Structure 1
Amino acid sequence: MTDSDDIGALLGAEGPFARELPNFAPRPAQQAMAKAVQHAIAECEILIAEAGTGTGKTYAYLVPAMLSGQRVIVSTGTKALQDQLFFRDLPKVRAVLGARLKVALLKGRANYLCLYRLDQTVREGASFDRAQAVQLAAIRAWSARTRRGDRMELAEVPEDSSLWPRVTSTPENCLGVECPLYEDCHVVAARREAQEADLVVVNHHLLFADLALKQEGFGEILPGAQAFILDEAHQIPELAGQFFSQSLSARQLTELAQDALSECSGITGAIGLLLEPVEALQEAVRKLRLALEPLPMRGPFHDLLKREGVPESLRDVADLLAALTDVLASQAERSRGFMNVHERAAALTERLDRILEEHSEQDVRWYELFPRGFALHATPLDLAAPLRAMRERTQAAWIHTSATLSVAGRFDHFARQLGLDDPQTISLESPFDYARQALCYLPEGLPDPAARDYTERVIDAVLPVLEASNGRAFLLFTSHRALRRAAELLADRVPWPLFVQGTAPRHQLLEDFRASGHGVLLGAASFWEGVDVAGEALSVVVIDKLPFAAPDDPVLQARLEALEQAGINPFMGWQVPSAVIALKQGAGRLIRDVHDRGALVLCDPRLTTKGYGKLFMASLPPMPRTRDLAQVHAFFEQAAQSSPSCEA
């Protein structure tokens, strides 16, 4: 085991990374983080490490992880980051260190081609239109040459193609060891590699799915590890809420019904037994969705129960699901498929019973509606307890890192959400020179964000900034409604190409935005984080309002009430800290490398008129601030004069 001075030296000016990697810049913050991670792994501690943009946190945790001699699981926020880590960063670090250890990449099963289901789909092939037939041919050709079977390899079939669900498996329809192609299964191969590896790269969805499954007594997918490193850890509280919830949707019920009927083919007498209970369940689900029609798109369960006819419809669905489960039990021995469908039905029955019971003060029960369906949920009120229990079971070091975990320099909010008692903490500032590279502009004269014409006024305030920057801007909105209104307002008022979230896939919009050179991109929630546009293509980030969570979220409402009962001010104790972290994510899109320059435009007047505005401002990188538009123009003129293309 290398001691902490050595690990700092490895990443220092005289170390192998500086010698062997072109463009590697030694950074004291990176070295400090590497030492803290090394110590946490060695001492089996909990660490929160906030590392500003440009710190180089990936190497700061990969180097000590690879030198630790322990089994380590690294979890990232998205599959794209997972691929970047595994195919770009890991090989470089391993080569520089000369580390002889096994590494593996593991994703959820829906990311891997299922050879059995591909074979089935090819046999049914008559029903495809021309585009699907071309995609299926591409998948077949790729299936013959791929080693991993990872969908990400096949860019020519879009990620949202309707074919992927037909050629990948789910836990419900996988035949397991009874599959005739089990020996060649890509999921099995990926899991086997992960179980034999010293370092496994996963994503948060898979990590929590596995840990939540283990909690329910299923076998673990991921190998037991001595250390878990969670990158983009600010996403964990929301994701954990999903995985510790019990949920049931109309879609799950209708798919169960359809699959039960599909299993009848070739089994004598099965259709006679199943047709009636299946149709009765499908009809009850349709009736329940109709009874829910006038309700808001989501809300607390007690609102749903007050609606006339809904309690009876819920009881009908529960009774008919139980009846179908009983009939399936009588057929379970007749085929592997029937056994599978029976197990699913029993699990859904149990889940629905839990959601319908008012047995737990610990759960928030709520619903959401979709155009043709619904979902019912029971979410734990407090995630700290299940997360603490999960960590204790692993007996491992847990390292949480992100650029956005603190509020005005304190980690209390993040630690409380995750039940981290007395963690080690380290806060590392970005090496970027924000005083020189950035300017924060707070336009004057904007109305209260609740004003009816607020979006119109924001666009009026932003247009002169866009003229100064010649486009090259992200406009980030806290609601899709404001986003659509802004797109309408800008359509015939600006000469630059507009890229509007929802008009094309996210990766396509970003590629087109970069290529345009002077585009204006309008985005909501998913564009606030994980978007990296370095260089001149992005020189302005506009944020319309402080990103407070939607007040109609029933889980949030219940959490705020519980905080109030515990004597904590819910606004300052939860809503403000959560919004601060979200604002930091949005602002973080602006400066992505040492050569970037840009203006951050914060439109919300509450930043200067409300006391809590100071907390938001104190949490942003240290950049000069102005309310004077002339200073914004001067900032961009200075940038134009110093840019190489203007010197000729």
Structure 2
Amino acid sequence: MIDHDDIDAAALLGPDGPFARELPNFAPRAVQQAMAEAVAQAIAGRETLIAEAGTGTGKTYAYLVPALRSGERVIVSTGTKALQDQLYFRDLPKVVSVLGLRLKTALLKGRANYLCLYRLDQTVREGASFDKPQAAQLATIRAWSARTRRGDRMELAEVPEESPLWPQVTSTPENCLGVECLFYDDCHVFKARREAQEADLVVVNHHLLFADLALKQEGFGEILPGAAAFILDEAHQVPELAGQFFSQSVSARQLGDLAQDSLRECSGVTGAIGLLLEPVEALQEALRKLRLAMEPLGLRGTFAALEGSGEVRDGLREVGDLLSTLADLLASQAERSRGFANAYERAAMLAERLERILEQASDRDVRWYELFPRGFALHATPLDLAAPLRAMRERSEAAWVFTSATLSVAGRFEHFARQLGLDEPQALLLESPFDYAKQALCYMPQGLPDPAARDYTERVLDVVLPVLQASNGRAFLLFTSHRALRRAAELLAERVPWPLFVQGTAPRHQLLEDFRHSGHGVLLGAASFWEGVDVAGDALSVVVIDKLPFAAPDDPVLVARLEALEQQGINPFMGWQVPAAAIALKQGAGRLIRSVTDRGILVLCDPRLATKNYGKLFLASLPPMPRTRELVDAEAFFAPLVDERNVC
């Protein structure tokens, strides 16, 4: 075996390195080597690094090689479970093998991804209440439980991810019985955590990373082992996710689950059902009435909207009182079973958190609510995440590497750095090695009205259809709202010969699979299709974006943050809204060119790109592709014999 110890990370990925020798189709890239060197330096010096790596850079190898060779314990975190699985099952084994390393690696997900044997056992006992499809799914899960080693839901494709059965057979931090569980020795969550504690490199996702770091903030035990370096891929998602985990939240679902689990524990405990049935049913009824009283409110809003309704105010007070009563009753049963002790701890924690959210208004937090079809959630979110994130990094005494294809705005990192409290980070901007001048064209149609126009979606489709005819389908149409998406789907159903794939009609992975196989499909998507979607090859040759993706003005946290910026003398539109939208636009545009052989057109419909001064900032943030406002150029792009140099 060749000893690579004396070769630096960049050289290992170079033309004379082992990756070029041993991996078919591996192409050495200067940008990949530059990133590997920067990551190695950051780990060695316990520094903070922001690295934007354009599509095709090969950033995964660029951080895995120095991470694995560092001799340090490293946590790699991803924004999506799909990338987490790809990293652990595909990329990591290849890098470990090429480098000839003997290291322990581990994959760790949030507990909701693992089968809970205790909850499965409970659910099987109650199985008579399930309808036929759910009973069949339960039988499938039982059979799988006998053969799975990891207990990771990802292994069982036969039971859909959105099945209502999964919450019944997985645990939450609140209802886990810990070491007192009868199934503890075989628990998939604790086995995965033990492996992570012993591993040199652990692959997690941002949800789990921030849940754990937030727990450490409160002084509880840690899930993840202490590490010398944290590498966060898909780091553009970090600011929003960090906000969730530094928030205080209580949801109707948490309270409903507590009520159900309290009744479950009554089985076999003499007299318990007589004591708890009435208060549990009263809490469930109060939650139902409160959700009904919230019906006239918007889907999300500040507490001012809640407090403006006397019925909602009374409902919140009643839920708080009933929760406190239930906590007192559960305290009287806590010594009778571990399940009751756990239910009491949950009730006390939720009662305290609910009181804190309802009573403790603060200039540092924004208190807000959101509604779901059958429930609601109440939150208190810090306005400024920079301080807790800075404190968290300083406590870790580790290197922090933030990487993504979309962190900068017109080549600058101020927006991302300010949100995370990164004062003087090392910064690296690596352009994609793709030849956008030859592979892509940006078409900005003329004559479209202001995006607020009532017929805007209809007009967008009018200018887009000729492009789709030239490309023979093979397109993503990305919308900034579900309403526009639904309207476009209605109109296109009657106007195009190609198969349509519409977000919401099937699970995302299924739509993408069907789109790829169709060859000439047109896929309509909103937020979740703007990122993390990879369709290389001829199946996707057009990406249409209807409007600039400014954040929804009904987001109470955003509104409060913009007001706070204004008070600091910062223009909230140019200082926050435009940079955030520019990063989102880069994500959507990034769906187009995914390999060195891809060719395609990016259609940007929003006329503000040409009419507003800030439009230049958006365009400067996109890959350097030729631009045109003429339909003939867009049509000619797909004509095989056209001389591409004639495109203006």
Fold agreement, TM-score > 0.5: yes
Residue in structure 2 matched with residue 288 of structure 1 by the alignment: 290
SS in 1 for 2:638: helix
Corresponding residue to 2:313 among 293, 305, 311: 311
Q: In the alignment, is the contact (CA less than 8 A) between 1:2 and 1:67 conserved in 2?
A: no
Q: In the alignment, is the contact (CA less than 8 A) between 1:4 and 1:38 conserved in 2?
A: no
Corresponding residue to 1:466 among 462, 465, 468: 468
Residue in structure 2 matched with residue 645 of structure 1 by the alignment: none
Q: How far does the alpha carbon of each residue in 1:260-297 deviate from its partner, in whole angstroms, 9 at most, with x for none?
A: 22222222222232233223322322232232221111
Q: In the alignment, is the contact (CA less than 8 A) between 1:246 and 1:378 conserved in 2?
A: yes
What amino acid is the match of 2:469? E
Residue in structure 2 matched with residue 83 of structure 1 by the alignment: 85
Asked whether 1:490 is paired with 2:492, we answer: yes
CA offset at residue 180 of structure 1? 1.8
SS in 2 for 1:247: strand
Structure 1, unmatched stretches of 5+, are 643-648
SS in 2 for 1:366: strand
Residue in structure 1 matched with residue 435 of structure 2 by the alignment: 433
Structure 2 Cα separation of the partners of residues 36 and 513 of structure 1: 38
Residue in structure 1 matched with residue 417 of structure 2 by the alignment: 415
Asked whether 1:131 is paired with 2:136, we answer: no
Residue in structure 2 matched with residue 7 of structure 1 by the alignment: 9
Q: In the alignment, is the contact (CA less than 8 A) between 1:528 and 1:589 conserved in 2?
A: yes
Corresponding residue to 1:44 among 46, 63, 66: 46
Structure 1 Cα separation of the partners of residues 62 and 374 of structure 2: 47
Asked whether 1:614 is paired with 2:616, we answer: yes
SS in 2 for 1:440: strand
Structure 2 Cα separation of the partners of residues 102 and 549 of structure 1: 42
Residue in structure 1 matched with residue 606 of structure 2 by the alignment: 604
Q: In the alignment, is the contact (CA less than 8 A) between 2:73 and 2:228 conserved in 1?
A: yes
Mean CA deviation greater in 457-466 or 295-304: 295-304
Corresponding residue to 2:556 among 554, 557, 565: 554
SS in 2 for 1:617: helix
Residue in structure 2 matched with residue 646 of structure 1 by the alignment: none
CA offset at residue 118 of structure 1? 2.4
What amino acid is the match of 1:30? Q
Residue in structure 1 matched with residue 30 of structure 2 by the alignment: 28
Q: How does 1:75-474 map to 2 (within 5 A)?
A: 75-474=77-476
Structure 1 Cα separation of the partners of residues 156 and 286 of structure 2: 41
Q: Against the structure 1 CA distance between its residues 639 and 38, is the aligned structure 2 distance closer, same or farther, given a 3 Å change threshold?
A: farther
What amino acid is the match of 1:184? D
Structure 1 Cα separation of the partners of residues 95 and 263 of structure 2: 52
Structure 1 Cα separation of the partners of residues 302 and 131 of structure 2: 42
CA offset at residue 388 of structure 1? 0.9
With the length of structure 2 as denominator, give the TM-score of the two structures. Answer: 0.97
What amino acid is the match of 1:230? L
Structure 2 Cα separation of the partners of residues 458 and 33 of structure 1: 40
What amino acid is the match of 2:403? T
SS in 1 for 2:640: helix
CA offset at residue 166 of structure 1? 2.2
CA offset at residue 641 of structure 1? 10
Mean CA deviation greater in 313-322 or 130-139: 130-139
Q: Against the structure 1 CA distance between its residues 30 and 639, is the aligned structure 2 distance closer, same or farther, given a 3 Å change threshold?
A: farther
What amino acid is the match of 2:226? G
CA RMSD of aligned residues (A): 1.6
Q: In the alignment, is the contact (CA less than 8 A) between 2:258 and 2:347 conserved in 1?
A: yes
Structure 2 Cα separation of the partners of residues 503 and 261 of structure 1: 36
Matched pairs, number: 642
Q: Against the structure 1 CA distance between its residues 486 and 439, is the aligned structure 2 distance closer, same or farther, given a 3 Å change threshold?
A: same
CA offset at residue 4 of structure 1? 9.8
Structure 2 Cα separation of the partners of residues 476 and 4 of structure 1: 48
Structure 2 Cα separation of the partners of residues 503 and 373 of structure 1: 23
Q: How far does the alpha carbon of each residue in 1:407-459 deviate from its partner, in whole angstroms, 9 at most, with x for none?
A: 00000000000111100000000000000000000000000000000000000
Residue in structure 2 matched with residue 502 of structure 1 by the alignment: 504
Structure 2, unmatched stretches of 5+, are none
CA offset at residue 625 of structure 1? 0.3
Q: Against the structure 1 CA distance between its residues 574 and 5, is the aligned structure 2 distance closer, same or farther, given a 3 Å change threshold?
A: farther
CA offset at residue 258 of structure 1? 2.1
Q: In the alignment, is the contact (CA less than 8 A) between 1:446 and 1:605 conserved in 2?
A: yes
Q: Against the structure 1 CA distance between its residues 136 and 273, is the aligned structure 2 distance closer, same or farther, given a 3 Å change threshold?
A: closer
CA offset at residue 318 of structure 1? 1.4
Q: Against the structure 1 CA distance between its residues 75 and 407, is the aligned structure 2 distance closer, same or farther, given a 3 Å change threshold?
A: same
Structure 1 Cα separation of the partners of residues 295 and 164 of structure 2: 28
Structure 1 Cα separation of the partners of residues 184 and 292 of structure 2: 43
Structure 2 Cα separation of the partners of residues 598 and 142 of structure 1: 43
Corresponding residue to 2:590 among 588, 591, 616: 588
SS in 2 for 1:377: strand
Structure 1 Cα separation of the partners of residues 546 and 514 of structure 2: 23
CA offset at residue 560 of structure 1? 0.2
Structure 1 moving runs of 4+ over 4 Å: 1-5, 639-642
What amino acid is the match of 2:331? A
What amino acid is the match of 1:459? L
Q: In the alignment, is the contact (CA less than 8 A) between 2:636 and 2:642 conserved in 1?
A: no
Structure 1 Cα separation of the partners of residues 351 and 273 of structure 2: 22
Asked whether 1:541 is paired with 2:559, we answer: no
Q: In the alignment, is the contact (CA less than 8 A) between 1:299 and 1:552 conserved in 2?
A: yes
Q: Against the structure 1 CA distance between its residues 159 and 309, is the aligned structure 2 distance closer, same or farther, given a 3 Å change threshold?
A: closer
Mean CA deviation greater in 325-334 or 198-207: 325-334
Structure 1 Cα separation of the partners of residues 275 and 124 of structure 2: 30
What amino acid is the match of 2:313? P
Residue in structure 1 matched with residue 531 of structure 2 by the alignment: 529
Structure 2 Cα separation of the partners of residues 584 and 25 of structure 1: 25
Q: How far does the alpha carbon of each residue in 1:323-347 deviate from its partner, in whole angstroms, 9 at most, with x for none?
A: 2211111111111111111001011
Mean CA deviation greater in 380-389 or 40-49: 380-389
Q: In the alignment, is the contact (CA less than 8 A) between 1:52 and 1:428 conserved in 2?
A: yes
Structure 2 Cα separation of the partners of residues 191 and 253 of structure 1: 27
Q: In the alignment, is the contact (CA less than 8 A) between 2:4 and 2:99 conserved in 1?
A: no
Structure 2 Cα separation of the partners of residues 157 and 641 of structure 1: 51
CA offset at residue 319 of structure 1? 1.7
Q: Against the structure 1 CA distance between its residues 141 and 275, is the aligned structure 2 distance closer, same or farther, given a 3 Å change threshold?
A: closer
CA offset at residue 215 of structure 1? 1.3
Structure 1 Cα separation of the partners of residues 144 and 262 of structure 2: 32
Structure 2 Cα separation of the partners of residues 278 and 131 of structure 1: 29
CA offset at residue 468 of structure 1? 0.5
Asked whether 1:56 is paired with 2:77, we answer: no
Structure 2 Cα separation of the partners of residues 639 and 120 of structure 1: 67
Q: In the alignment, is the contact (CA less than 8 A) between 2:256 and 2:284 conserved in 1?
A: yes
SS in 1 for 2:34: helix
Q: In the alignment, is the contact (CA less than 8 A) between 2:501 and 2:521 conserved in 1?
A: yes
Mean CA deviation greater in 268-277 or 327-336: 268-277
Q: Against the structure 1 CA distance between its residues 483 and 266, is the aligned structure 2 distance closer, same or farther, given a 3 Å change threshold?
A: same
Structure 2 Cα separation of the partners of residues 602 and 343 of structure 1: 53
Mean CA deviation greater in 363-372 or 82-91: 363-372
What amino acid is the match of 2:339? G
CA offset at residue 498 of structure 1? 0.3
CA offset at residue 359 of structure 1? 3.8
CA offset at residue 133 of structure 1? 3.2
